[in-house]
Amino acid sequence: MTQINPNILREYDIRGIVGDNFTEEVVETLGRAFGTRIKRAGGKSVCVGYDGRLSSPGLAAAAVRGMMACGLTVYEVGRGPTPMLYYSTYALEADAGLMITGSHNPPDYNGIKMMLSGLSFFGADIQDLGKIAAEGDFETGQGSSEQRPMLNDYVERITSDFKAGRELKIAWDAGNGVAGEAMTMMCDKLPGEHHLMYADIDGNFPNHHPDPTVEKNLADLKEMVIAKGCDLGIAFDGDGDRIGVVDSQGRVLWGDQLMVIWAKEILSRKPGSTIIADVKASQVLFDEVARMGGEPQMWKTGHSLIKSKMKELESPFAGEMSGHIFFKDGFYGFDDALYAAIRLLSILTQTDEKLDDMLDAMPKMVNTPEIRFDCPEERKFDVADEVKERLNGASDVQVIDVDGVRVVSDDGWWLLRASNTQPVLVARCEAKDEAGLAKLKAELVKQLETSGIDAPDF
């Protein structure tokens, strides 16, 4: 039996180091385990796609072998962004999907994202794959595979929702990730002027790390926007499910700020809709959704958790500060950065208002970025619980415990939560002014020190 290192079985996906704990043998075994779950759910077919990492084609072939051994029909949809794989499951009416992708991790990493029966496959489901593999409890059968490349269909689908109007000048940065080819094809179909950067897919990521939520990775995009006089710049992460945006001055619009713009358009057509955002999002977003006639809903961080909550609440739109954006309104409800770009451009083409003006119109807050710092795996969840216990019942604060603790006071709010994927704690503070921010930071530091944790440098 091929041994599966339990450390690669994460909350939202599977992730490991190629040639170490994540080999073709491991992936074939995991393919058999996932194929077993598909069969036991009554499924007969699965789509398999892969990203632009050097190891991905071989790993995808291993997953196909594993699932065929369960008796499944496997549609090999080819290389493309993770949202292309999600789309393929709908377009080909498959029962499940498996994507080989390392997302925005370093080049020596790779991983697997999955969906089953239209739902995210995460948490206990991923742990169950390890159990099936350890026990060798596999379904068997005579499966088959079909080559069904889906990149052209996917690009056709997402661009079909574009609304033409005022022509725009746009800079694009794929960071040498797998979104590059789809981005190029998409821009060929769109009017306006397009300046493409790092569109060639290269699993070594020679120019910068493909993570648009880290501002230093947007430096080249900002330069291009300024140099070419663009209206905006758009960047994608390594597998195309997270978006980054800068305005014509090179100012970053974070995921929660972008959500205000998309939510306004949706609420103009669907007043009263529930709009979901994660606990890291600015209070500005929740307040603006309420002001615009929507129902703001704060929920746990994690793309799988957000997708599940959307389904439960029948929400047309959701997102995370990290740039995972989900449209059920007119689309399928999964996180797709290229489709999110189409929806943003469609708003901008229909108005003379610039993206800069939309950013300037938002209430101003001062805040920290997301701060991540080490905390032992066995302590990380306890620390957040200890803080919650100490502050529950305090008269001067409100404690929101949707995911960790979000502590609201007259000065603003601060957040402390445990990462689901790493031995780290995550913190963020937001206030109306610098004096308020300083007080929030001090309170957070005090709580960490009370729990015996070294506070990070703010």
pLDDT of residue 186: 98
Q: Which two tokens stand for residue 233?
A: 């710049």
From 3.30.70.3460, 3.40.250.10, 3.40.50.2000, 3.40.120.10, which CATH number describes the 255-331 domain?
3.40.120.10
pLDDT of residue 1: 67
Q: In the structure, what pLDDT confidence band is assigned to residue 143 with cuts at 50, 70 and 90?
A: very high
Closest Cα partner for 342 from 357, 331, 353, 356?
Answer: 331
Q: How far is CA 44 from the centre of its chain?
A: 28
pLDDT of residue 104: 85
Q: How far apart are CA 357 and CA 391, in angstroms?
A: 39
Q: What is the pLDDT of residues 41-84, one digit of tens each?
A: 999 999 999 999 999 999 999 999 999 999 999 999 999 999 99
Q: In the structure, what pLDDT confidence band is assigned to residue 100 with cuts at 50, 70 and 90?
A: very high
Across the range 5-25, mean pLDDT stands at 95
Task: Look up the pTM and report it.
Answer: 0.96
Instruction: Please report, rounded to a whole number, the percentage of residues in the chain having pLDDT higher than 90.
Output: 93
Query: Can you spell out the DSSP letters for 226-291?
Result: HHHT-SEEEEE-TTSS-EEEEETT--EE-HHHHHHHHHHHHHHHSTT-EEEEETTS-HHHHHHHHH
pLDDT of residue 348: 98
Please give the order of strands across the beta sheet that includes 295-299. 295-299, 274-278, 317-319, 325-327
Q: How far apart are CA 46 and CA 60, in angstroms?
A: 13
CATH number of 154-253: 3.40.120.10
Higher pLDDT, 301 or 457: 301
Closest Cα partner for 292 from 314, 260, 319?
Answer: 260
Across the range 379-395, mean pLDDT stands at 93
- Helical (H) or strand (E) element with 439: helix 434-450
Across the range 415-430, mean pLDDT stands at 92
- Helical (H) or strand (E) element with 171: strand 169-173
Q: Where in the chain is the domain with CATH 3.30.310.50?
A: 366-450
Let me know: does 335 contact 384? Beta carbons within 8 Å.
no
Which residues are CB-contacts of 408 (< 8 A; sequence separation ≥ 6)?
A: 283, 397, 398, 399, 400
Q: What is the pLDDT of residues 164-201, one digit of tens each?
A: 999 999 999 999 999 999 999 999 999 999 999 999 99
Across the range 235-247, mean pLDDT stands at 97
Q: What is the pLDDT of residues 255-267, one digit of tens each?
A: 999 999 999 999 9
Q: Which two tokens stand for residue 1?
A: 């039996």
Answer yes or no: is pLDDT of 420 > 90: no
pLDDT of residue 398: 94
CATH fold for the domain made of 366-450? TATA-Binding Protein (3.30.310)
Query: Which one from 103, 120, 273, 322 is the annotated catalytic residue?
Result: 103
- Could you confirm whether 248 is annotated as catalytic? no
pLDDT of residue 124: 96
Answer yes or no: is pLDDT of 11 > 70: yes
Which residues are CB-contacts of 458 (< 8 A; sequence separation ≥ 6)?
A: 368, 371, 429, 441
pLDDT of residue 422: 82
Q: What is the pLDDT of residues 306-337, one digit of tens each?
A: 999 999 999 999 999 999 999 999 999 999 99
Q: Which two tokens stand for residue 371?
A: 């701060």
Answer yes or no: is pLDDT of 455 > 70: yes
How many beta carbons lie within 10 A of that of residue 435, not counting itself? 10
Average pLDDT score over the chain = 96
How many beta carbons lie within 10 A of that of residue 450, not counting itself? 12
Least confident of 15-24, 366-375, 400-409: 366-375
Let me know: does 398 contact 408? Beta carbons within 8 Å.
yes
pLDDT of residue 451: 95
Q: In the structure, what pLDDT confidence band is assigned to residue 441 with cuts at 50, 70 and 90?
A: very high
Across the range 350-358, mean pLDDT stands at 97
Which residues are CB-contacts of 72 (< 8 A; sequence separation ≥ 6)?
A: 35, 38, 39, 43, 44, 45, 46, 141, 143
pLDDT of residue 92: 98
CATH number of 6-149: 3.40.120.10
Q: Where in the chain is the domain with CATH 3.40.120.10?
A: 6-149, 154-253, 255-331
Any idea what the Cα angle at residue 57 is, between residues 150 and 50, rounded to 5°? 45
